[in-house]
Amino acid sequence: MHYDVIMRNFDPVTFEPSRYVNGTLYSYEIVEACTGPNPLADAIEFLVDPLAPSPTAVSEFGLSYGDYYLGLTRDDVGGLRYMLRTNNMNWEGVSSDSVLMATNFYVFQLMGTSNLAQFAAQALTNDAAALAALYPGLIITDTKLIFTNVVTTNVFAYFTNYPWSPAGSPASLVIASNLTTNVATWYRHTFANVVTNTAFTNGIMRLQTTRVEPCTWGPPGLLCTNVTLQTVATNQLTAISTSSPPTRRAGSGSCARN
């Protein structure tokens, strides 16, 4: 058998895993039962010195009617000291089947912008391959063809003599134009990584209030910092980023472990 044994008690001074409970040293022995359902083994704790005192935390057992405690143990006080200390912060790794979302970065993140008007015009007249060549990294998930009428203005020039022009005068240059209608193919693309911003006149903001006041459980003269957050709706210019729009139209072991 292979076992992983983890110490579940912590020293109230160093906050490190400890073999001591209220100053008394403990060890363990593994009791095995290699048949049947899990757990197949357990680590049973015992006193290294059988005559040593073995008080447990007062929260270990409940009280009956009329019973009360006269004081706290060393580890009780250490646990309260740990929980009530200011700026207490614990970090835990994210498992592989979890999604980590981080907000309020202390480092400003710069997001680059592009000319969406030019992009929309190019997306209207270029197929997926040509558009991806113009914008490397662009993800196009779908393309539909659009057949439309395109009116083209043709401009040309010619020389002519007006009836009212004096005899012998040079010919006049005239600029004229005509319109032709042709059938053209446009494209309607759907993108997976185009981000656009929408502005609103109101939005949600968080108000942070910091108060410095005497600590509830600390000695006289010790000050603690208490921070509270409040979410409110207010009138302000708010920009909401939208990415990956659904449609964007161009131009618009079986052993126990103890």
Query: Is pLDDT larger for residue 38 or for residue 16?
Result: 16
Say how far residue 17 (Cα) sits from the centre of its chain.
Answer: 32
Say how far residue 131 (Cα) sits from the centre of its chain.
Answer: 30
pLDDT score of 237 more than 60: no
Which tokens in the block code for residue 219?
A: 């000695």
Q: Reduced to 3 states, what is the DSSP secondary structure of residue 225?
A: strand
- How many CB atoms are closer than 10 A to CB 38? 10
Is 45:18 a contact under the CB 8 Å cutoff?
no
Q: 120 pLDDT band (50/70/90 cuts)?
A: confident
pTM, two decimals, is: 0.34
pLDDT score of 9 more than 80: yes
What's the average model confidence in pLDDT over 121-146? 89
Query: Is pLDDT larger for residue 214 or for residue 49?
Result: 49
Is 6:34 a contact under the CB 8 Å cutoff?
no
pLDDT score of 54 more than 60: yes
Q: Which class for 120: exposed (0-12), middle (13-18), buried (19 or more C-beta within 10 A)?
A: middle
* Percent of the chain residues topping a pLDDT of 90: 8
pLDDT score of 177 more than 70: yes
pLDDT digits (tens, 9 = 90+) for 179-220: 888 888 889 899 888 877 666 667 777 777 777 777 776 677
Instruction: Give the highest mean pLDDT range of 17-26, 79-88, 89-98, 235-244.
Output: 17-26
Which tokens in the block code for residue 142?
A: 């779908």
Q: 49 pLDDT band (50/70/90 cuts)?
A: very high
Q: 130 pLDDT band (50/70/90 cuts)?
A: very high
For residue 143, what pLDDT is reported? 92
Instruction: Tell me the β-bridge partners of 177.
Output: 155
- 81-95, 117-131, 206-220, range with the lowest pLDDT: 206-220
* Average pLDDT for the chain: 77
